[in-house]
Copies of this chain bind each other. A is one copy, B any other.
Amino acid sequence: MSPKKEQLILAATDLFSRHGFHPVGIDRILADAGVARMTLYNHFPSKDDLITAVLDRRYEGIMASLHAFVEATATAREQLEAIFAWHEAWFETPEFSGCLFERALAEFGSDYPKISDVAIRYKKTMMAWIADMLKTLLPEHAATRVASLLLILLDGATIDARAFHDPTIATRAWGAAEAIIEQEIRLTSTNFVRR
């Protein structure tokens, strides 16, 4: 990938993260990236496409970081805990400003499918991944249901960590996740007994 294109994505990511998508104009991105106007439009047909590229890049970066972090653990339960721990480490980052996908979804809604699709794809991937882990602990239908709950916990924790400047929310959210999983395991086993 062209180094200029790279600089544009990096500068745009930083500016969008700090100020949002709409308030950041092309000029500001060009100045920060140290790139000429036409260079941007040679690489991206429009601002929307730059936004999409930023989100795509973020998607890959997060997934790579998450996988590396999670694969260092052994059991499914440790992997799930690692996901929450990864979030806490992220919340503690000085540049943490919420989830860029959520913010894109909040700003653009479904009016711009090119943009909102990345956010939804991220959610679905996360949920499927979590469900896979849970399948070693729970029957399949329970795993998918609980996965959607853990996603809710992660999304809610991300939002409230930003609103309250409280990274420790992630650990408490993991405690809640454990309670949900425990209850589900208990319900499943009693079902087996009753049979």
Contact = CB atoms under 8 A, between A and B. Distances in A.
A145 interface: yes
Contacts of A103: 106-107
Contact of A107 (B22, B149, B175): B22
Nearest to A170: B152
A64 interface: no
A53 to B, nearest CB: 20
B149 A176 contact: yes
A98 to B, nearest CB: 7
A123 interface: yes
Given A20-B108, A107-B20, A173 B160 contact: no
A45 to B, nearest CB: 20
A40 interface: no
A155 interface: yes
A162 B148 CA distance: 14
Most B CB atoms within 10 A — which of A19, A119, A160?
Answer: A160
Interface in A56-115: 97-98, 102-103, 105-109, 111
Report copies per complex. 2
A19 B153 CA distance: 27
Interface of A: 18-20, 22-23, 97-98, 102-103, 105-109, 111, 119-120, 123, 145, 148-149, 151-157, 159-160, 162-164, 169, 172-173, 175-176, 179-180, 182-184
A109 B153 contact: no
A157 B153 CA distance: 8
Nearest to A22: B22
21 contacts: A18-B109, A22-B22, A102-B106, A102-B159, A105-B159, A106-B106, A107-B107, A119-B163, A145-B172, A148-B169, A149-B173, A149-B175, A152-B153, A152-B157, A152-B159, A152-B169, A153-B153, A153-B176, A155-B155, A155-B159, A179-B179
